[in-house]
Structure 1
């Protein structure tokens, strides 16, 4: 970790909230809204989120599982996300969400007509914009946490 976090302080809250309260607070609000206001299905949401986490290398983000109404994805979901091209655990929307996440993070210039044709066949324009904003949030903030090294010291309860 390259940031000195005072003893007894939560690393995420300290870095995001105390070090740069104006920017960090706005970023935290955006990050929270992605979870609280998303209209995407849980499986497609998690496929996209986890693929970004895997690409970023954010330990905390890879360990996290979004819960909605007491439901979470199955324990093997992260492996299915790694193998999004070949897994039989995904429907087309979930597979596209993982593909979009990967291409958004690694090859956004390569988002071609074929991809957009497949994407618009499954997703409304509103959902495409929503997913794009979610991807931007996860890419930016998961990468920030990993680059600063705070992802490895923030752990989920029980870990």
Structure 2
């Protein structure tokens, strides 16, 4: 397999700008496990193999169990996630698939029972950021291992 385009080298300024936003979200105080769960769920929905590989590996490095990594796509039926994590995964799905039904008042209010307004904005940015990364990776033809020799 071959990438269509290496966006890192083709336009380093845009990559740096995205990386700065990534750094801001990562340093916002958002729980790292929750952040990686968001990235995995959005990447599953969007079909981004590069990001899915990266973020499942990241969760492993953080000490997450194989069960919790494997069951992200079926979080509703999985007792291994907390109600707080389930609310975030539902928000990640709703924002990723926003054109299909938006974000309900009920879901938004449930998020606010677990997170402050500032934290809720951090979640929204985190979800939007991984969706952007997914779209870049898919469009440019990224796949697991594509940067190993780049």
TM over 0.5: yes
Distance in 2 separating the partners of 1:66 and 1:44? 12
After TM superposition, the score normalised by the length of structure 1 is 0.78
* Partner residue, 1:138: 130
Which stretch has the larger CA shift, 59-68 or 75-84?
59-68
| CA distance 1:29–1:66, shift in 2 (3 Å) | same
Unmatched segments (≥5 aa) in structure 2: none
Q: Higher mean Cα deviation, 78-87 or 39-48?
A: 39-48
TM-score normalised to structure 2 length? 0.82
Match of 2:34 in 1: 44
Q: Please give the secondary structure, in 1, of the residue aligned with 2:71.
A: helix
Structure with more helix by fraction? 2
Note if contact 1:93-1:122 (Cα within 8 Å) is conserved in structure 2: yes
Alignment of 1:41-80 (within 5 A): 41-64=31-54, 65-66=57-58, 71-80=62-71
Distance 1:28 1:59, change over 3 A: same
Secondary structure of 1:83's aligned partner: helix
Deviation at 1:2, TM superposition (A): 5.7
> How many residues are paired up?
144
- Is residue 126 from structure 1 mapped to residue 127 from structure 2 by the alignment? no
Structure 2 equivalent of residue 93 of structure 1: 84
Matching residue of 1:147: 139
Partner of 2:22: 31
Which position in structure 1 is the counterpart of 2:10?
Answer: 19
User: Quick one: distance in 1 between partners of 2:36 and 2:69?
Assistant: 9
Unaligned 5+ segments in structure 1 are: 5-13
CA contact (8 A) 1:85 1:95 kept: yes
Aligned to 1:7: none
